[in-house]
Structure 1
Amino acid sequence: MKKLLIIFFMIPIFGFSQTTEEFDFIAPYSDGYAAIKKGESWGFVNDKGTIAIDFRYDLVLTETNGNKYPIFKNNRCLISEIKKGITYFGYIDKTGNTVIEPKFLNAINFNNNKALALGILKEELGSNDILGKNVVSYRYFEVIIDTDGNVDTYLNPKGINVVLDKEYLKTPPEITSKQISNNLFVVRTKNSKWMIKSIE
């Protein structure tokens, strides 16, 4: 009889794994995970309703159906980090580990294992002997990256000059290119027109 009572009381404990916490917002599922909000921080629950990624402040929100919340696409979720007053973007996986370090000036969610991002190139121009400093120049490029953060394609090979200073770069530069199908991207030209690029 004692064994039967122990089993009876254990069933409710093991039969339900979802959290009993209250949240300020619960998003629809995307890629098997749903974003949850508590205060100003966000986390994720898995398809069993268990908190899979604890609450944090670096998740990037995506506007979806009139709401803004973080999402997973292709097992990646956007994060951001502020370094010297400038925001950089990277990605975590479904364990919450950073798999692509925040190094892009802007980035969007993955689609078909590709994402658009703004990659930075640093060029050494020489040195200033009076100030004792190297003279450097920065350019950013609209690039297509894979789920490991490797650059597959440069969409604007000439790039755009940028000053990496918080006084000049108060908000992330805009990504103007768009993915219109699995392998087709549209790129804005200097004449403010559009060109289609096929990526294999």
Structure 2
Amino acid sequence: MKKVVILCFMFIIAPLLIVGQSLENVEFISPFHDDVAAIKKDGKWGFIDKQGNLVIDFRTDLVNTKTDDGEYPMFSYERCKIVEVKAGISYFGFIDTSGKTVIEPQFLNITNFNKNNAIALKLDKQIISRNTALDKDMVNYRYFEVLINTEGEITYYLTQDAVNIVLDKSFLRAAPQITSKLLTDELYAVMGKNKTWNIIKVKQEL
């Protein structure tokens, strides 16, 4: 009798132990970074974990990174780049591994994080005069290359001289290029006005 009972029990629970999840018609699968991999479907990107679970649903605001394996969104130090377009201008920020926006899109360009730092283009607005007839401020827009931490706080100004821009989609059709380069965990190469490089040491905050 015991054998019969045991066999019946096994047949009852066996189907319950076979749990599967399938993702079909996936167009691209990236290597894993920070224990998640980007997958593309129907022109949108999402992320799966190492068990194949979709941990971040498909969305259109993820920003690709160029790698030897192709171009795809990726996490670096638990941050992934996102973009939001306002009045035709692209602004960049970051999400965490839960998909939550932790750094609001506000920068004109950004790099992936290296430990606690990423390079970003911080937009700065200057009021240069006031048009009393139109009751309107005359403004000038410019940006600096800065380091930000994983909370989006500026920790260091890599460039002291700002770059003036016209904040209009007719003139700013693509994100301005970041010229500063990460050399090591603490060394950055910053381009000066005469197109030569300055080597700056910035200690990482961990």
Query: Does the TM-score normalized on the shorter chain lie above 0.5?
Result: yes
Q: Structure 1 residue 54 and structure 2 residue 64: aligned? A: no
The Cα of 1:22 is off from its aligned counterpart by 3.2
Contact 1:19 1:51 in 2 (8 A): no
Partner of residue 11, structure 2: 5
Separation in 2, partners of 1:107, 1:20: 31
Q: How many residues align?
A: 197
The Cα of 1:9 is off from its aligned counterpart by 1.2
Q: Which runs of 4+ in 1 moved over 4 A?
A: none
Deviations 1:44-90 (A, max 9, x none): 00122111000000000011115100000010000001000000100
Structure 2 gaps of 5+ residues are none
Separation in 2, partners of 1:116, 1:39: 31
Structure 1 gaps of 5+ residues are none
Partner of residue 189, structure 1: 192
Which entry has the higher C-alpha Rg, 1 or 2? 2
Alignment of 1:107-186 (within 5 A): 107-186=110-189
Q: Structure 1 residue 23 and structure 2 residue 26: aligned? A: yes
Q: TM-score, normalised by structure 1?
A: 0.94
The Cα of 1:139 is off from its aligned counterpart by 1.1
Q: TM-score, normalised by structure 2?
A: 0.92
Percent sequence identity over aligned pairs: 46
Alignment equivalent of 1:92, drawn from 90, 95, 98: 95
Separation in 2, partners of 1:170, 1:51: 34
Separation in 2, partners of 1:53, 1:8: 30
Partner of residue 77, structure 1: 80
Aligned-pair Cα RMSD in Å: 1.2
Deviations 1:129-179 (A, max 9, x none): 112211111110000110001111111112111111111111110000011
